[in-house]
Structure 1
Amino acid sequence: MAEETLRDVTAGLAGLTLQGVSKIQASLTEEGKVPEYLILGFNSEDPQIQKASVIQIRRILGNSPSEAAQPVIDTGLVPAIVSLLDSEDTRLQCEAAWIVTNIASGTTQQTEQVIDAGAIPRLIILSASPHADVADHAVWALGNVLGDCARIRDRVEEEGGIAALIKLVDRREPSFEKVQKTAMWALFCYLNPLPSRKLPITRIKHVLLCMARYIQETPVNKANMESIEYAVQSLDRICGHDLQRTDFIATGVVPRLVKLLADSSSSTTLQKQVLKCLVYVVSGSDDDTDVAVDAGLLPGLLVPLETKNPDLCRLALRTASNVAAGSLSQVYALLDSGLLKPVVCILMDDQESTRCRREACWTISTLTKKVPGDSRVAQAFIEGCCVEALSAALLISDLKVKELAVSGITNVLEWKPPQGSGADESPLTILRSASGPQNLRAVRDSRDVHDKMIKKDCQGLLTRYFPDCSRRARV
Structure 2
Amino acid sequence: MSLQHDTQRKKGYKSTGRRRREDGIFIVRKNKRQDSLSKRRKLVRQDISSPLIDDSPPSTIYIPVRVRYVMQRLKHGLIPITFSDIIGKNHIGIGGGGAMDLNLQNHDVLVSQLQTIRTMTLTLLSDNPAAQLEAATQFGTLLSKGYIPLIDKVIRAGVVPRFVKFLTREDMPQLQFMAAWTLTNIAAGLSEHTRIVIDHGAVPLLVQLMSSSNDDIKEQTLWALGNIAGDSPSASDHVLNDGALLPLLSLLWNPSTTKKSIWNIAKWAFLNLCRGKSLPTLYEQIRPALPALRELLLMHDEEFVLYACQILSCITQNGSSEMVQAVVEANVCPRLVELLLFPTSKVIVPALQILGDIASGDDAQTQVLINSGALHCLKFLLTQSDKIILEETCLAISNITAGNSAQLQAVLDADLITPLVCLTKAEFNVRNEAVWAISNATHGTPEQIRSLACKGCIEALCDLLISTDPSILTVCLNGLRNILKAGEINKQKGLYNNRVNIYAQMVEECGGLDKIVSLQSYDNNDIYKKAVEVLEKYFPEDLEMVDEENHSSNVDGTLQQ
TM-score, normalisation: structure 1 = 0.77
Q: Where does structure 2 lack aligned partners over 5 or more consecutive residues?
A: 1-86, 95-105, 552-561
Match of 2:150 in 1: 68
Greater mean alpha carbon deviation, residues 324-333 or residues 304-313: 304-313
Secondary structure in structure 1 of the residue aligned to 2:111: coil
Identity of paired residues, percent? 25
How far is 1:290 from its partner?
A: 0.5
- 2:403 partner amino acid: G
- 2:185 partner amino acid: N
Match of 1:6 in 2: none
Secondary structure in structure 2 of the residue aligned to 1:70: helix
Superposed counterparts of 1:68-467, under 5 Å? 68-85=150-167, 86-107=169-190, 109-115=192-198, 117-148=200-231, 153=236, 155-193=238-276, 199-200=279-280, 203-211=282-290, 213-218=292-297, 219=299, 221=301, 223-224=303-304, 227-228=307-308, 230-236=310-316, 238-239=318-319, 241=320, 243=322, 245-267=324-346, 271-302=348-379, 305-347=382-424, 349=425, 352-353=427-428, 355-372=429-446, 374=447, 377-413=448-484, 414-415=486-487, 416=490, 426-444=502-520, 446-448=521-523, 450-451=525-526, 452-460=528-536, 463-464=539-540, 467=541
Q: What's the RMSD between the two structures over aligned residues?
A: 3.8
- 1:359 partner amino acid: E
Please tell me whether the aligned partners of residues 504 and 538 of structure 2 are also in contact (alpha carbons under 8 angstroms): no
Please tell me whether the aligned partners of residues 28 and 35 of structure 1 are also in contact (alpha carbons under 8 angstroms): no
Secondary structure in structure 1 of the residue aligned to 2:136: helix
Secondary structure in structure 1 of the residue aligned to 2:442: helix
How far is 1:344 from its partner?
A: 0.9
- 2:268 partner amino acid: W
- 1:278 partner amino acid: L
* Deviation sequence 1:396-447 (CA, Å, 0-9, x none): 22223223223322332333599799xxx95344333312222222223x35
- 1:83 partner amino acid: K
State the distance in 2 between where 1:107 and 1:181 align. Answer: 24
How far is 1:35 from its partner?
A: 3.9
Secondary structure in structure 1 of the residue aligned to 2:311: helix
State the distance in 2 between where 1:46 and 1:238 align. Answer: 49
* Deviation sequence 1:374-404 (CA, Å, 0-9, x none): 2xx2453233211211221222222232232
- 2:315 partner amino acid: L
- 1:456 partner amino acid: V
Change (3 A) 1:399 1:114: closer
How far is 1:289 from its partner?
A: 0.9
Please tell me whether the aligned partners of residues 236 and 273 of structure 1 are also in contact (alpha carbons under 8 angstroms): no
State the distance in 2 between where 1:242 and 1:71 align. Answer: 46
Secondary structure in structure 2 of the residue aligned to 1:408: helix
Please tell me whether the aligned partners of residues 317 and 357 of structure 2 are also in contact (alpha carbons under 8 angstroms): no
State the distance in 2 between where 1:159 and 1:462 align. Answer: 63
Please tell me whether the aligned partners of residues 317 and 354 of structure 2 are also in contact (alpha carbons under 8 angstroms): no
Paired positions, count: 436
How far is 1:65 from its partner?
A: 5.3
Task: State whether structure 2 residue 56 is matched by structure 1 residue 56.
Answer: no
- 1:352 partner amino acid: E
State the distance in 2 between where 1:313 and 1:23 align. Answer: 40
Change (3 A) 1:334 1:146: same
Please tell me whether the aligned partners of residues 287 and 323 of structure 2 are also in contact (alpha carbons under 8 angstroms): no
* Deviation sequence 1:90-119 (CA, Å, 0-9, x none): 444333212111222335553354345553
Change (3 A) 1:203 1:397: closer
How far is 1:453 from its partner?
A: 0.9
State the distance in 2 between where 1:160 and 1:435 align. Answer: 63
Please tell me whether the aligned partners of residues 346 and 357 of structure 1 are also in contact (alpha carbons under 8 angstroms): yes
How far is 1:203 from its partner?
A: 4.9
Change (3 A) 1:403 1:146: closer
Please tell me whether the aligned partners of residues 315 and 324 of structure 2 are also in contact (alpha carbons under 8 angstroms): no
- 1:165 partner amino acid: L
How far is 1:226 from its partner?
A: 6.2
How far is 1:232 from its partner?
A: 2.4
Secondary structure in structure 1 of the residue aligned to 2:438: helix
How far is 1:333 from its partner?
A: 1.8
Please tell me whether the aligned partners of residues 209 and 217 of structure 2 are also in contact (alpha carbons under 8 angstroms): yes
Match of 2:35 in 1: none
TM-score, normalisation: structure 2 = 0.67
Secondary structure in structure 2 of the residue aligned to 1:207: helix
As a proportion of its length, which structure holds more helix?
A: 1
How far is 1:370 from its partner?
A: 1.5
Please tell me whether the aligned partners of residues 257 and 274 of structure 1 are also in contact (alpha carbons under 8 angstroms): yes
Please tell me whether the aligned partners of residues 215 and 253 of structure 1 are also in contact (alpha carbons under 8 angstroms): yes
State the distance in 2 between where 1:303 and 1:134 align. Answer: 47
Please tell me whether the aligned partners of residues 28 and 60 of structure 1 are also in contact (alpha carbons under 8 angstroms): no
Please tell me whether the aligned partners of residues 462 and 470 of structure 1 are also in contact (alpha carbons under 8 angstroms): no
How far is 1:295 from its partner?
A: 1.4
Indicate the structure whose relative CO is greater, using CA pairs within 8 Å and at least 6 residues apart: 2
Match of 1:10 in 2: none
How far is 1:363 from its partner?
A: 1.8
Change (3 A) 1:234 1:364: closer
* Deviation sequence 1:123-149 (CA, Å, 0-9, x none): 233211223222111122122333456
Please tell me whether the aligned partners of residues 221 and 265 of structure 1 are also in contact (alpha carbons under 8 angstroms): no
